[in-house]
Structure 1
C-alpha cells in the first residue's frame, strides 16, 4: 500500500527558468511524510513518528522539470524497517489529459526515531512497526557516500550562516535547509570556477539530476558561520559531480554529492559542454 498526498505549489517555489527549485522538492517530501505518519499513526501519539524523527540520509533523483500548477501528487511508502530506523520512498508525479503518469522526482529518506528531550535515538515500537509494515515494499538499502576529508589547499570554501528561521522547535536545523546550504556553496564554487571562461561557455545551463545528503551531527543556530568545503569529484560526458561537506572545525556535520547535467533549455535535453568548460572541470577534479 502507498500513501497519496496532494501537495499545493507556490509561485515562490520556482527558480529563474520557471522550474520548481531542487531544494523545494525536499519540502514536498517532508510534507508527504508527515501527512502519512500522522494519518496512519498507530495510536493517539501521532507525532511520535511524524515529528519525532531525525533524517539520517536523503537521496533525491530529479527525473523531469516541474512547472507551476495548482498541486502535484506525492506517493510515499516504506522500503525497510530496522530496529531503530526505517526508510521511506517517494514519487512526485502528475497525470496528463490521457491519464498517463508523468514522474518528476523519485527519492528515499533514512529516518531514525529520536527522543529530543534526551538527545538520543530510540527503537521502533511494535505498534509503530505494525503500522509501517502496511506500506512496506522492500528495496535495496542505501549505499554510503565516500568519506569526506576537506583539502583547504584545493577545495572551495563557503561560510554557512544559519538563520533563526532555519531551526525547528527542537533547536536543530531542519533537514531541508541543508540542501539550501549545499546549493549556496555549490553555486558560489561553480561561479568562481567558470568565471574565467568566455561568456558563452560560462553561461551554460545546468540542472541538478541527483542529490544525496548524509546527516552526521546536528547543525545548531549560532552567530558564527560553519564551514562548507566543495570540490569536483567526477567528470562525465554531459555531467559532473560536486561533493561537499559542512564542518564545525574538524568535525563533519553533513556531506553531500550532487550530480549536475549540462542542459539545453531550447530542447529540454542534456547537452555536451564546450571543450573549454570540460577541461576546466577535469583540471579541478580531485582524485
Structure 2
C-alpha cells in the first residue's frame, strides 16, 4: 500500500542544466514524509514545532537518481514503509511523473527515522502499537544498510569552511536535515572545481550525481564560527567516481556522506568516459589504500 503526495515544484528548484537540482529532491521527500505520517500515524510527529516534547528525527537518507526532472507543476511522491525495527523505521519513496500511460521514476529513496526525546537528548524505542501501525504499510520489505566505515583522507584541497545561515535552522533550533545536503554539495563543488581548474577546457568532463547516501551523527546549530566540510575521492570507475565527505567541527563529526558522480556528456545527455587528462588527475587524487 502506498501513500501518494502531490508535491508542487518551484522554478527556483532548477539548476544550470535546467533540471531539478539533486538537493531539492530531499525537500520533496520531506514534504511527502510529513504528509504521509500525518495521515497514517499522527502520534508520531514528523513536522517541526518549537514546543514539541519529542519528534521523529532523520538518521539517514539514501537516494538514487534515475532520470532528470524538468519543471512541472507538480510531481507525485509515492511513500511506503519498508522496514520497522525496535527504535527505527524506514520510509521508501519513488518520485514519479506521468505522461498519459507512461510512468517515469525520477528517483528512488529511503529515509531511516527514530523518535527522539528532546528533554533527554536521546532516541526512544517504538511502542508496540506504533510498530503494528507502521507494519500495516509495509511493501517490499527491505533492510536498511548503514554506510561502511569511512577512512577520511584530509587534504587542504578537500577542506571547505562552512558557515551556517540563520535561515538554515528549523523550529527545533537545529539545522534541518535537508540543509546538510546543501552543505555537502557546496564542499564537494569547491573540491571538484579545484580539480577542473587544473585542466584545459576541452579536458573537463562534466559530472552528475547518481546516488547520495548520508548519515546524521550530531546536531548542528547556528553560530559565528564555521564548521568544515572535508571531501576526498574514494574511488574511480570507468564512467563514475565516488566522493566521500564529512561535516566536522574539529575532530567531531556531525554527518558523513558518500556520493556517486557519473561522468556526463551534456550534448548526448548520457554517461561518458572522462577525458584521459581528467582520469589521470582524478586517479592521482584517489585516497591511498590502507590509510
TM bracket (short chain): over 0.9
2:39 corresponds to which residue? 39
* Aligned-partner Cα distance in 2 for 1:175–1:139: 25
- Alpha-carbon displacement from aligned partner over 1:190-215 (angstroms, at most 9, x marks no partner): 0011211001222x221100000011
RMSD: 1.5
Aligned to 1:250: 251
2:240 is matched with 239
Within 2, Cα distance between the matches of 1:237 and 1:151?
A: 22
TM-score using structure 1 length: 0.94
Output the CA distance in 1 between the equivalents of 2:62 and 2:163: 24
Instruction: Give every structure 1 segment of 4 or more consecutive aligned residues whose post-TM-superposition deviation is greater than 4 Å.
Output: none
Give the whole-Å Cα distance in 1 for the aligned partners of 2:179 and 2:167.
Answer: 10
SS of residue paired to 1:22: coil
CA contact (8 A) 2:154 2:232 kept: no
Residues 148 and 245 of structure 1 are in contact (CA less than 8 Å); yes or no, is this contact kept in structure 2? no
Q: Is the 8 A contact 1:162 1:225 kept in 2?
A: yes
Following superposition, the deviation at residue 228 of structure 1 comes to 1.2
Deviation at 1:139, TM superposition (A): 3.2
1:74 aligns with 2:98: no
Measured after TM superposition, the shift of residue 41 of structure 1 is 2.3
Q: Is the 8 A contact 2:154 2:231 kept in 1?
A: no
5+ long unaligned stretches in structure 2: 49-54
**How many residues get paired?**
282
Report if the CA contact (8 A) 2:33-2:46 is conserved. no
1:48 aligned residue (45, 48, 57)? 45
Once residues 279 and 144 of structure 2 are traced to their aligned partners in structure 1, the CA distance between those partners, rounded to angstroms, is 30
Secondary structure of the residue that 2:171 maps to in structure 1?
coil
Equivalence for 2:265: 264
Aligned to 2:186: 184
Specify the alignment match of 1:57 in structure 2. Answer: 60
Distance in 1 of aligned mates of 2:157 and 2:246: 10
